[in-house]
Amino acid sequence: MMNITELTLQLQPSRASDRLLQPFWDYLLIHHLPLISSPFFPVLLAFSSFFFFSIPFAALDLLAERVPLFYKYKIQPDRRPTVEMMVTNFTIALSNHIFFVVPIVIISTFILPTPTVPKDAPTLYELFTGGLAVLLLFDTQYYIWHFIHHKHPQLYRCIHAIHHEYIAPFSFSTEPLSIPELITVGFWSNQDPIILKCHPLTMWCTTIFSIWLSVEDHIGYDLPWSLSHLVPFGLLGGAAAHDMHHQKPSSNYAPLFSHWDRIFGTSVPLKRKN
Ligand SMILES: [Zn+2]
Ligand SMILES: [Zn+2]
C-alpha cells in the first residue's frame, strides 16, 4: 500500500500482471485518480447507484397495466406509488445526503487517516470472496439491528418507523431512513470492507451490488429473472421477502440473505407471483 502522493509520483501502468482486472485498475489510476481517491467518491457511487437503479422501476410503476409483461409480477397491484410519493422519497434521500452524509464525510477527513490506493488490482477471487464476506457481515449486523429496532417500541418509533411509512414499497422508498439509521448503515458500509482488508475496487463493486440488492428488495415486483430467483435455494431474500416485511413487520428482518431469518424462525412463507 502507498499513499496518494507517492502513487502520483510513481504511477506507471502495471506490467506482466496476471490479474485480469489490472488494465481496468491501471486506467482508473492513470485517468481518474483525483476522483477515486476523493473521500466523497463512495458516497457519490452509492447515491448515483440508488438513483439509476430506481428509475426503471419507477417508470414501470407509472406505466403499470400498459406493460403487462412486468405488471403481472406486481406483488401488491392494488397499492401503487404516485409521482408525488416518488419525488418526496427521492428528495428526502437527497437532502439526507447533502445535509448529513456530506458533512460527516468532511469531518471524517480531519479524523481518519489519509486513504491509501494500492497499485495492484485485486484478483477476481479476491474481489468475489472479499465482496461476499462484506455482504455476509453487513447482513448479520443489520439483522441484529433490525430485530432490536422492531422489538423495542421506542427505538422503532424514533429510529426505524420512517422506513415503514409504506406497506407496499417501491424503488424510491429504499433510501429514506432516519438519520441514526442512515449513519449506522453508512458506518458499516464504509468500515466493513476496511475491517476485512478489502481492495478499494472490491469495496466499490460491493457497494454497487449491495445497492442493487437493496433496491431490488423494494421494487414491489417478484420478477422471475431477478437475482433472488437466479441464486439457488432461496439464499437471497429479494423483493418477495422484503415486501412481506413491509406488510408484516415482525418477519423477514435480514436485508440481503435468508439464512438468519430461517435459523431464528423469523421468516414467513412467501406469496410468490411466479
Ligand atoms: Zn424496506
Ligand atoms: Zn423494518
Q: Which ligand is nearest to the CA of 218?
A: 1
CA of 258 to the centre of ligand 1 (A): 15
CA of 242 to the centre of ligand 1 (A): 6
Q: What is the mean pLDDT of residues 183-193?
A: 94
pLDDT at 272: 67
Q: By percentage, how much of the chain surpasses pLDDT 70? A: 92
CA of 190 to the centre of ligand 1 (A): 21
Q: Which ligand is nearest to the CA of 161?
A: 2
Residue 209 has pLDDT above 70, yes or no: yes
Task: Extract the C-alpha cell encoding 89.
Answer: 422519497
φ and ψ at 3, to 5 degrees?
Answer: -80, 175
CA of 7 to the centre of ligand 1 (A): 41
Using an 8 Å Cβ cutoff, are 223 and 239 in contact?
A: yes
CA of 174 to the centre of ligand 2 (A): 12
